Amino acid sequence: MGWVLKACEEGVQLLRQLTARVHSRVVLPPEIGNPLDALPRLPWVVVREMILYFGCCLVLTFLIFLLKSIICNYGNAVTWPKKPHLLQLIFLQKASGSWLLDPALAAALGKTREEVEKSKPAQVSEEVWATILALICLHGFKMDSKEEWELLAMKAVSWLRAQNASCVTDCVEAANTLLGCSVEKDALRL
């Protein structure tokens, strides 16, 4: 982590040196109000250094922002809000249309893995349970952005139908209880 801070310090020093060079070379006459009006009269070397200076400012600002965000999150486990988070649910869906029952899904639902596993009905696979949980969450909490997740929900329903899962009604009831929703099985198109 020390190398990150050293890189930031060196970047700031370089920026200070460039600033000093540009300010020492650019002396505008008092009659020029806008510095851009003076560009045609300045030597190309000075203009090039000004472009380099502003480019470095932009790049270093971005890098410092990026490095600060890395440093602030270094070593911290990613925690999601207790309220279900749509983007996390979207990113966690597998290509098949299902979800895995893992800590990331539980966190995206605002629950712990233990809570999610404990409320799983017997004789239901973890993938079926996780997929129904995600669908209940989407229908229960994210109806305001349905156009964003409607297609992935259709893919999940197709996957569930292909599984010929028994006890879907029990899963829907258990998921509603766990998440505090009241989504009907028919709303899921199962």
Give the integer Cα–Cα distance in Å for 114 and 128: 17
Range in 62-66, 132-136, 170-174 with the lowest mean pLDDT: 62-66
Overall pTM > 0.85 = no
Is 27 part of a structural domain of the chain?
A: yes
65 with 10, same domain: the answer is yes
- pLDDT at position 174: 93
Query: Does one domain contain both 113 and 90?
Result: yes
Full residue range of the structural domain in which residue 40 is found: 2-73
**Does 63 share its domain with 127?**
no
Res. 43: pLDDT tops 90? no
Specify whether 139 is located in the same domain as 165: yes
* Whether residue 90 is found in the same domain as residue 181: yes
Which of 50, 73, 96 is the last residue in one of the domains?
73
Q: Quick one: which of 154, 109, 149 has its CA closest to 129? A: 109
Residue-by-residue DSSP string for 119-176: TSPTT--HHHHHHHHHHHHHHHH-GGGHHHHHHHHHHHHHHHHHHT-S-HHHHHHHHH
Residue 8: inside a domain, yes or no? yes
68 shares a domain with 91: no
Q: Give the range among 36-50, 51-65, 101-115 with minimum mean pLDDT.
A: 36-50
* Count of domains forming the chain: 2
**Interval 8-34: pLDDT, tens:** 566 666 656 656 665 555 555 555 555
DSSP 139: H
Give 176-187 pLDDT, tens digit per residue: 999 999 899 888
How much is the average pLDDT of 105-111? Answer: 89
